Structure 1
Amino acid sequence: MKIAARTGTVVAQTAAGRVAGTREGGLAVFRGVPYAAPPVGPLRFASPRPPLPWTGVRDATRFSPPFVQSGAPESAEDALYANIWTPDPAGSRPVLVYVHGGAWQVGSGSVPTFDGARPAARGDLVVINFNYRLGAFGWGLHDDLADPDTGHLANWGLQDQIALVRWVHENIAAFGGDPDDLTLCGTSAGGASVWQMTHLPQTRDLVRRIIPISAAHPRQPAFGLTPDDSRTVYRALAARFGTDVRGLRAVPAADLHTAWLDVFSGDPDRRLVASGREYRGPVLDGRLVTAFAGELPPPRVPVLSAYCATEGSFFTDPLSPSYPPAPPAPTDEAGLRAAVHQVLAKTAAKVPEALAAECVAAYRAAARAEGLAADPRTLWTEVWGDALFRHRIVRLAQQHARTADAGPLWLMEFAHPVREPSYGTPHDATSKFLFGSYGAERNVRQFGDGPLERRVSDTFIDLVASFVHRGAPAAPGVPDWPVYTRGTPSTLILGGPGIARVAATRKQAQLRFWDALPTAA
């Protein structure tokens, strides 16, 4: 594949046609490169098709719209595009593909937080991010939506991610990337996706290593619909629009999006279905998704797994851009029990009344034993973060360490604190430092922009880059970081004035509460 350069312009030849990007700060940057055909009309709810070929040179200097979502009036279905930052299109560098999070319902590769320039330049990497189908269009199941060519009838967003990985493997050499040296990285929903793709026959042989960050590993009823509930929802949507399920392909996208959100609004106990209580992610379809993390064997590739010190503060801090917005924090014991009950209700269809009090008592005792804060807001925050994220992430790391044929796993706790009046280290704080976007306009108030933030960011990028280049994380000023072993000092704590230290995994007593609950296991 040939590369042509003009002043300020770089042209790359993909399988579908030539694209023209720009030179920016020593990098070549390509935005809005199609990796699949627009999933519109008859291709709504279809498996992704290859991008339509074009003649001439296609402009690749502007981001595509985000996929259909709330809060983004410019969003659209025609959004299956990739963005690429490369130090040298004529080179052959390791490739880092980032899968954005957003609860499988919001987010895009064009969000300024995920600008790939900093890790591409400092890490000497080809960095890629992209959009995939969300919400009703990306994460459901119905037999009447089966693709006549592939037979797939569910999880269209995951199918898009598979298509992107295969597109990268086939095309990335034109952008200076090594197609045989691909690392997948993702946060939250994206972190769960990269874990899943190590098990899929379409992608597992293409992925060299993975970096799941704050992975929102799907489970029912919290993070996914059951197949029967999914069928029920699509039938209800069809009835609302006076059509059958196949006819949903003709419903205006904005109307279908709004109707989907309506189904899952309000008290989870009063909804049409019992699953999908918090977010609607992958569905067990028996074809692509046959089991969830914990039921699948650990990945056989190297893993750098990370979580945030207080995952829950993303959801309990009114200044965080959480979706939906944070509710008021509890201020007394009764309010704390009620707030904790609401968290428990995200993970189970039925929650015994006494369970919230048991949870509060366990967390308060653990906090006092460790000299940690035990006020209502802090306890509520810890419960939220552990129930939805930290418990599963740590337990999967421990399962990984016990499995003989698993790849090596390094475990990180990202603990760089945000600025007051925000608090803790919230879910998705990591992306601001991995991409060096902590000082961006939308982030600086919460994350700051000083020499310490720069050092933490540089260290994070160096750790990731060394993992991508050599298969093991290391960075200047970071102590030797051993492969994770349960019960020994092998978790890297990153952030704060000391930058990095290795310690035993913190706050283990809190996690033991969830071990006895099958709904959170």
Structure 2
Amino acid sequence: MDSVNRRDFLTRLTLATATVSLPQYAFSFNGRADEFITTDTTHGKLRGIRKDGVNLFRGIPYGGRISGDRRFRRPAPLEPWTGVRDALEFGAPAIQPPRRNEPAPSEDCLFLNVWTPANDNRKRPVMFYSHGGGFVIGSGASGGQDGSNLARNFDVVVVETNHRLGLLGFLYLDEVAGVDYAGSGNMGMLDIVDGLKWVHDNIARFGGDPSNVMIWGESGGGAKTSCLYAMPSAAPYFNKASIESGPGVRMTSKETAAETTAMLLRELNIAPKDWRKLLDIPASELLVMQGKLPFAPPFQEKNNRKSLMERRAGGFSPVVDGTVLPHNPFDPTAPAISRNKPLLVGWNEDEFTFFAWERKDTEFAKLTFETLPKRLEAQFGEDTPKIIDTYRKANPNATAPDIFIAVSSITMMGLGSVDIAEKKVKQGGAPVYLYNFGYKSEKLIPGTDYPMGTPHAMDISFKFNNEIPPRDGSAPKESFFGGNRPERFTASHHFAELWTTFARTGKPAAKDVPAWPAFNLKSRPTMRIDANCEVINNRFSDELAMWRTIGRL
């Protein structure tokens, strides 16, 4: 396998959600409810279930039809219904390969799910989560992100949406299809905004406060959150945000998006003037074509080496179209529109071990300091010796595999997170809080003696407080990524309490956790989240100084 780099970052991101969608994390309604709960919404009555002290409403429609003549456009109006509509099962996810323990994917996928302690008008903080999957897979029912424990244990309301993905969500047609398709390159993001509007109009009936909404997301969901933070249409509907292991500094330019559209039309033998033929192709065939297009890696050339999320032609992600997304989310500056909205941002210490596990890469664990340079040179070229020297001096006890993991992880997620934090501070508005998740799983990467540590996506079950002992008192089962050690329960509680307190107050805090100072450019405090949390000042200072010197930060 070639040296890992951000060249395939976004495509590997797409697997993060799928790989943790395992049977033990499937939350469909397959047993008796304690009772059924009925509530009003703007479009009709819903029936959900109360289970173990939490009210759950699944598969709530928040937008109308997006198939047929609505493909690549804003949804048809959502039609009110009469009687009581069941909200007992998850709604269809966006078009993608079939998802375990979920309904079949469908082009009409605008559904959301709500977890709340009670429908009692208590004005709890609302945590509006965008799933991972790198803009091409995932759903609001993805494994590990069940909101029951957050709602039950921390008295918050959790909301998660399905929304358009991939070609159907981000195909840029503005330049060939005319005014009716304005914003087509951002339909998936505008769907999420519609979900936020639904929250504004309805969440009070679910015990939530529409004036206290936090947007958050991991991996591709972090990049979606980055975009929402910069979108005028989203601005009225949230007042704080968290970007987790998915720093969306830059998105796709109009020029690159137009190249992708032209490439797609050529592959389908459709002339630009006949673009309407796209409306007649079955969604399943478009999904196949999406997979045939060349992958669109982020820029990594010598003349543009910064670790920023931007794609070449061939992939699908939000488009900086000047209107829906007026500019890159965090380049050249933090978005002025969210100047007064507090922000959390950070990454997992060992992001790359997820990708080694997913690819069955065992060779990295055999690296020596003689073979390490060759492994890194494909990505870093002539800078490789300086990078290795800096990391060895800063981490004198590290092995060659340790250095490889550290370098790969920080270039995937860390440099962009630091870039966002620095730009937010320079803006001089609301505070930003920088973190590293560091709880170490003892599970070994198959075929190696190297532990998972803190891989990409492991934070999902931790921050949702889904790493807890069984409620029935039985022996805990091994966590898929988190391992067997009971300390994981404490780390999960810390993570969840920090995030829910931030949702409630705009300042992260938790019992038995040190006070978390806002990030600044002098002491640069970073919260390391673990069973024992600590604030570390000027963390990775030598490494970050080196990354700046070689032009990657």
TM class by smaller structure: 0.7 to 0.9
Question: CA deviation digits over 1:59-83, x for unaligned, max 9?
Answer: 1010112211235382222221100
Q: Output the CA distance in 1 between the equivalents of 2:157 and 2:298.
A: 43
Q: Which residue is 1:121 aligned to? A: 152
State which drifts further: 120-129 or 284-293. Answer: 284-293
Q: Output the CA distance in 2 between the equivalents of 1:475 and 1:228.
A: 46
3-state SS in 2 of match to 1:295? coil
Deviation at 1:372, TM superposition (A): 4.6
Deviation at 1:17, TM superposition (A): 1.5
Q: CA RMSD of the aligned region, Å?
A: 2.9
Q: Is the 8 A contact 2:259 2:313 kept in 1?
A: no
- Aligned in 2, Cα 1:478/1:339: closer, same or farther, shift over 3 Å? same
Query: What letter corresponds to residue 99 of structure 1 in structure 2?
Result: S
Q: Output the CA distance in 2 between the equivalents of 1:411 and 1:179.
A: 26
- Aligned in 2, Cα 1:266/1:209: closer, same or farther, shift over 3 Å? closer
Q: Give the length in aligned residue pairs.
A: 486
Q: Which of 279, 289, 293 is matched with 1:249 structurally?
A: 279
Deviation at 1:328, TM superposition (A): 5.2
Q: Output the CA distance in 2 between the equivalents of 1:266 and 1:212.
A: 22
Q: Which residue is 1:184 aligned to? A: 215
Pairing 1:186-225 to 2, within 5 Å after superposition: 186-219=217-250, 224-225=251-252
Q: Output the CA distance in 2 between the equivalents of 1:442 and 1:296.
A: 45
Q: Which of 460, 466, 469 is matched with 2:501 structurally?
A: 466
Q: Which of 310, 314, 324 is matched with 1:288 structurally?
A: 324
Pairing 1:68-217 to 2, within 5 Å after superposition: 68-70=95-97, 72=99, 74-91=104-121, 92-143=123-174, 148=179, 151-217=182-248
Q: Which residue is 1:21 aligned to? A: 48
3-state SS in 1 of match to 2:144? helix
- Aligned in 2, Cα 1:279/1:152: closer, same or farther, shift over 3 Å? closer
Please report the TM-score for the alignment, with normalisation by the length of structure 1: 0.85
Deviation at 1:165, TM superposition (A): 0.8
- Aligned in 2, Cα 1:170/1:507: closer, same or farther, shift over 3 Å? same
Q: Output the CA distance in 1 between the equivalents of 2:370 and 2:278.
A: 45
Q: Which of 513, 527, 536 is matched with 1:503 structurally?
A: 536
Q: Which residue is 1:370 aligned to? A: 395
Q: Is the 8 A contact 2:509 2:515 kept in 1?
A: yes
Deviation at 1:267, TM superposition (A): 9.6
Query: What letter corresponds to residue 423 of structure 2 in structure 1?
Result: Q
3-state SS in 2 of match to 1:33? strand
Q: Which residue is 1:347 aligned to? A: none
Q: Is the 8 A contact 1:68 1:254 kept in 2?
A: yes
Question: CA deviation digits over 1:75-106, x for unaligned, max 9?
Answer: 22222110000111122211110111111111
- Aligned in 2, Cα 1:505/1:123: closer, same or farther, shift over 3 Å? farther
Pairing 1:410-429 to 2, within 5 Å after superposition: 410-421=433-444, 422-429=451-458
- Aligned in 2, Cα 1:238/1:463: closer, same or farther, shift over 3 Å? same
Question: CA deviation digits over 1:379-438, x for unaligned, max 9?
Answer: 33333322231001112212222332x211111111011223142312222111011234
Q: Which residue is 1:444 aligned to? A: 479
Q: Which residue is 1:486 aligned to? A: 521
Q: Is the 8 A contact 2:172 2:184 kept in 1?
A: yes
Question: CA deviation digits over 1:125-151, x for unaligned, max 9?
Answer: 011111111111122312256575573
Q: Output the CA distance in 1 between the equivalents of 2:165 and 2:383.
A: 36
Query: What letter corresponds to residue 387 of structure 1 in structure 2?
Result: T
Question: CA deviation digits over 1:223-257, x for unaligned, max 9?
Answer: x5432332233233234334333221221112111
Q: Which of 291, 294, 297 is matched with 2:334 structurally?
A: 297
Query: What letter corresponds to residue 465 of structure 2 in structure 1?
Result: G
Q: Is the 8 A contact 1:359 1:513 kept in 2?
A: no
Pairing 1:238-277 to 2, within 5 Å after superposition: 238-243=265-270, 244-265=274-295, 275-276=311-312
Q: Output the CA distance in 2 between the equivalents of 1:51 and 1:326.
A: 45
Question: CA deviation digits over 1:28-61, x for unaligned, max 9?
Answer: 1000001111321111111234423222211101
- Aligned in 2, Cα 1:129/1:157: closer, same or farther, shift over 3 Å? same
Q: Output the CA distance in 1 between the equivalents of 2:541 and 2:113.
A: 39
Q: Output the CA distance in 1 between the equivalents of 2:318 and 2:182.
A: 17
Q: Output the CA distance in 2 between the equivalents of 1:401 and 1:168.
A: 29
Q: Which residue is 2:404 aligned to? A: 380
Q: Output the CA distance in 2 between the equivalents of 1:149 and 1:238.
A: 19
Q: Output the CA distance in 2 between the equivalents of 1:213 and 1:268.
A: 19
Q: Which of 362, 365, 376 is matched with 1:340 structurally?
A: 376
Q: Which residue is 2:512 aligned to? A: 477
Question: CA deviation digits over 1:120-176, x for unaligned, max 9?
Answer: 111100111111111111223122565755732311111111111111111111211
Q: Output the CA distance in 2 between the equivalents of 1:509 and 1:71.
A: 45
The yes-or-no answer on 1:392 pairing with 2:420 is no
3-state SS in 2 of match to 1:237? helix
Q: Which runs of 5+ in 1 are unaligned?
A: 1-5, 345-354
Q: Which residue is 2:363 aligned to? A: 329
Q: Is the 8 A contact 1:126 1:176 kept in 2?
A: yes
The yes-or-no answer on 1:228 pairing with 2:255 is yes
Question: CA deviation digits over 1:423-454, x for unaligned, max 9?
Answer: 23122221110112347999813212543111
